[in-house]
Amino acid sequence: MNVTASIPSSTDAARWASGAAFIDGAYMPIAEARIPITDWGFRRSDVTYDVVSVWDGAFFRLDDHLKRFRASMESMRLIPAESDEDIRAILHRLVSLAGLREAYVAMDCLRGRPLPGTQYHPKNARPYLSAYAIPYVWLMKPEVIERGAHMIVASTPRIPEASVNARAKNFHWADMTAALFEADEKGADNPILLDAAGNVTEGPGYNVFCITDGIVSTPDRNVLGGITRLSVIELCAELGLPCEVRDVPLEELRNADEILVSSTAGGPIGVSRLDGRILNNDRPGPVTQKLRETYWAKRKSGWHAEPVRYEAA
């Protein structure tokens, strides 16, 4: 598929300074990006997405993100015209058009609207691709990362995985949004959501890890298979830290020596308070700090890096 034919001819760099977008075959500055308000991607949250980061001019684990994105699209029966290599080329071009060295790069597949005269059914609505690159987004402010996040256990449970597949990234965020408001109202930074059985799941945009007696644990059900989560699991093996992927009951979370969350938007991030309980003298714990420092050091050294093709613009 030719994904370069509709690139704007303008060389005005200021138009691209805030970011670049691609929608259904066309490139444009991020401020000009639009989707039709009648499309089911908007009307019904009938969309899946993925987000990959660029740091120091290189994508991190782009192959893993593309693989997960393809699995999500197949799970939700959202198959665009573009191949994985087409999508790769689009993402490179977007970062190049925006001229970003550190970037937050999103890829979405949305369902359109059934054509007039056809059955009003998702099978008759064409899926299409959108993507954008903007300056890197941090999950939390630097000062929050430095002191450690203040978290709550949300009263709103996670949407059951029998209803919405958590391993396919989606915009069904009603539970996450309610939890974020609850955290804010309680003076906390972010929430952690439980499932109906009282086990830990995840939070808005991040996976969760507990560390107790030197053993790291992370939930295995009703969670996104996070790429940064995968990186933390790999780092645990490299650093000789036992890491268990299994059910994590609330009691284990509440009694953990350390808690960390992992996100594309910041890597491993420590938690210093949970529902008012102070952990590690109100700072991220030593194992968390070791994982965070190792993660960023390895990224800066080229770990899982794919240099951006800046000549693509």
**Beta-bridge mates of residue 105:** 52, 133
CATH of the domain at 222: 3.20.10.10
Which residues form the domain of 40?
13-137
Task: State pTM to two decimals.
Answer: 0.93
CATH of the domain at 44: 3.30.470.10
What does 68-127 look like in DSSP terms, one character per residue? HHHHHHHHTT---S--HHHHHHHHHHHHHHHT-SSEEEEEEEEE--PPTTS-SSGGGS-E
Cβ partners under 8 Å of residue 276, min gap 6? none
258 assigned to some structural domain: yes
pLDDT tens, 263-273?
999 999 999 99
Ranges of residues in the chain whose predicted pLDDT is under 70: 1-12
Number of domains in the chain: 2
pLDDT tens, 137-162?
999 999 999 999 999 999 999 999 99
- pLDDT of 11: 53
Residue 124 and residue 42 share a domain: yes
pLDDT tens, 15-24?
898 999 999 9
Pull the structure tokens for residue 13. Answer: 């760099």
Decide which of 137, 170, 189 is a domain's last residue: 137
8 assigned to some structural domain: no
Say which residue the tokens 């102070």 belong to. 278
* Range list of H helices, the chain: 40-43, 62-75, 84-98, 142-147, 174-185, 227-239, 250-255, 286-300
